[in-house]
Amino acid sequence: MRRLLVLAVTLVAVLGVLAPPAIAQAPAPKVTITGFIDEVGTWGKNLSDYDNNYNRQKDTQATGRTRGRFDIIGEVGKAKAVLGIELDAFYGQTGNNDTFLDTRSNISGGITQGGRQGAGANAGFDMNTDTIGMVEIKWLYTEFPLPIPLPNTLRLGAQPFGTVATDKLALYANGDFPGVVANLEFAPGATLNLAYVQLEEQLTGFKDGWVRGEDWAVIASFGFSPFKGLDVKPMYSFFQAQGATSGTARQGRGGVDPTAAFTGTGGAVAGAAGRGVIENRHTVGVDGKFTAGPFSLQPSVLYQFGNRHNVITAGFAPYGPVGSLVKADISAWLVDVRGAFNVGPLTLAAMGMWTSGDNAKSNPFKTIGFYQPLDTDTSYAADWGTQIFSLGIDYFHILYNNAPGLNPGVAIGYDKYGRIQVGAKVAYAVTPSFTVGAGVTTDWTDKKVDTDSTLGAGGLAPLAITTSTGRPQGDSRYLGTEVNLSTTYRFAPGIAWDIAGGYLFSGEAMTHAITTGCCGSTSGTGAVGGPVTNSGTFGRGGKDGVNDVIIATTRIRFSF
């Protein structure tokens, strides 16, 4: 694949050389810095960021933190280079020791954090705030037009997906990636987007000891407007993974721990880690928007197909003989429809989504009926306005924050069971600078959840895996109903003050057993590192087997 990419880029470069260059005075270089700083304060009850146990009534927290995002942009004419930097830290020391990176020491890694820094952050400001080693490099890319007779932009390096796949946020590809993007504008409002994504690099391969597979993806979309008010963007993507792959593209679901299940060792491929696992995943769909006066409608439909070849390892003997080669066929859907109506300062909006799932008794090594995005960056439906079912104004907290396969912002579905969500919201601009809003959202799973499952690194593991006599059976589909209130006050240039609260009436489908040590947890019932022995009845206290979730957040953002 890389040879084809190099050939294509070389061909474009040759065509560019053939085009006669225009002789003009070189523009003066320009450097700008853009970004924002957030100051966030949050109180929450039963958020379960660290244990994924929604039955702990005393799980409360009140925190303050800072996020700074700075994009340094150097430009010469239409060419630019971008360095994106992000910093996240809690108010106060959160680990046993300071966050400290000593580049002068000979200690392996040189990192001493002394414990967890908190969900989403990489530091905790201590007294005197001398904090080292907390800088994240988000973007580092160059962007320029090629000298061809067609408006275009080529972007190389670590960069954002943007709208290369869909215009609606995080349906398939969102966040950041290393690779290449080309945008070709054939006519005003008609643009072809091409992307090559390098998820993992095997360098010279297994024979030289490189354990990562050659995991890559391509994305192609074509955005156009057949008439005024209608925007359409069909898209296609192909993703291939060898062995284990990025957790953004494949989460643990149905009890299948990606680390343990996709090693490729055993049977005919013993000793060749990862070579027994090849996943070929195709995604095709269309994203659209129709606007007519005060009314807008945004429908999106994506279908996923392909297969995954794998070797059954010792922990998954119930699904086949250990060492045997198996193939799982992929067939999954995602449908997302949103509409809005504006009447002066009043906005009314509604949404509905459905993503397919598998039933409790399904064999994940034969059938994959759940949708898998390439990368959402935890942001699916973050533009809708919930505070618990999706990222809200405090973008560190979301349902099952530390279990990606159940996290609705990451997996979109709920483990292997899929998800259905309907919601409505209203916003009213009291003044041009002050807006209030409210909303309600209800979620179910597509297929009934086996609430006797144990939650671990592989998501919800049915009794067929955790016991020798287990018989998985679907019990409930209702995940819960969330209500929200919010305000936004822009009281000064560049300053926005957001306040929001969410209350989730938790549903029975969220009930499950806990394996202590799961997903970063060190709390729960049973021996540390071992499964709960009461067949999943752990967590069945309180209303509907789980307790409700509450969050309240204030955020002041300065943008520049």
Helix (H) or strand (E) holding 2: helix 2-18
What residue spans define the domains of the chain?
42-78+145-559
Q: Which fold does the domain 42-78+145-559 belong to in CATH?
A: Porin (2.40.160)
How does DSSP assign 323-358, residue by residue?
Answer: T-EEEEEEEEEEEEEEEEEEETTEEEEEEEEEE---
CA 438 to CA 365: how far, in whole Å?
43
Chain segment 215-243, per-residue pLDDT in tens: 999 999 999 999 999 999 999 999 999 98
Tokens 């593991």 belong to which residue?
A: 461
Chain segment 286-325, per-residue pLDDT in tens: 999 999 999 999 999 999 999 999 888 888 888 888 888 8
Tokens 């679907």 belong to which residue?
A: 474
CA 31 to CA 73: how far, in whole Å?
6
CA-to-CA dists, residue 287 to 222, 293, 331, 416, angstroms? 10, 20, 19, 24
* Residue 36 burial by Cβ neighbours in a 10 Å radius (0-12, 13-18, 19+): middle
Return all residues near 224 (Cβ < 8 A) that are at least 6 apart: 189, 190, 191, 231, 232, 233
pLDDT score, position 2: 56
CA 313 to CA 6: how far, in whole Å?
37
Identify the weakest region by mean pLDDT among 45-59, 103-117, 284-298, 542-556.
103-117
Whole-model pTM: value is 0.88
Is 254's pLDDT higher than 90?
yes
pLDDT score, position 515: 60
b/e 344-370 (16+ beta carbons within 10 angstroms → b): eeebebebebbbbbbbbebebbebbbb
Strands (E), 201-345: 215-227, 230-242, 278-292, 295-311, 325-343
Chain segment 130-157, per-residue pLDDT in tens: 887 789 999 999 999 999 999 999 999 9
Return all residues near 70 (Cβ < 8 A) that are at least 6 apart: 33, 34, 35, 84, 85, 86
Residue 514 Cα to chain centre, angstroms: 23
CA 125 to CA 132: how far, in whole Å?
10
- ∠267-273-275 over CA atoms, to 5°? 75
Per the model's pLDDT, the better-predicted residue between 522 and 506 turns out to be 506
Rg (CA), the chain: 24
* Residue 466 burial by Cβ neighbours in a 10 Å radius (0-12, 13-18, 19+): buried
CB 45, CB 502: distance < 8 Å: no
Mean pLDDT for 52-71 is: 90
CA 1 to CA 452: how far, in whole Å?
44
* Residue 91 burial by Cβ neighbours in a 10 Å radius (0-12, 13-18, 19+): middle
pLDDT averaged over every residue in the chain: 86
pLDDT score, position 219: 98
> Looking at this protein, which amino acid is placed at residue 425?
K
Mean pLDDT for 364-390 is: 96
> Looking at this protein, which amino acid is placed at residue 14?
V
Q: 118: pLDDT confidence band, cut at 50, 70 and 90?
A: confident
pLDDT score, position 521: 41
> Looking at this protein, which amino acid is placed at residue 15?
L
How does DSSP assign 443-501, residue by residue?
Answer: EEEEEEE-TTPEEETTEEE-HHHHSSS------EEEEEEEEEEEEEEEEETTEEEEEEE
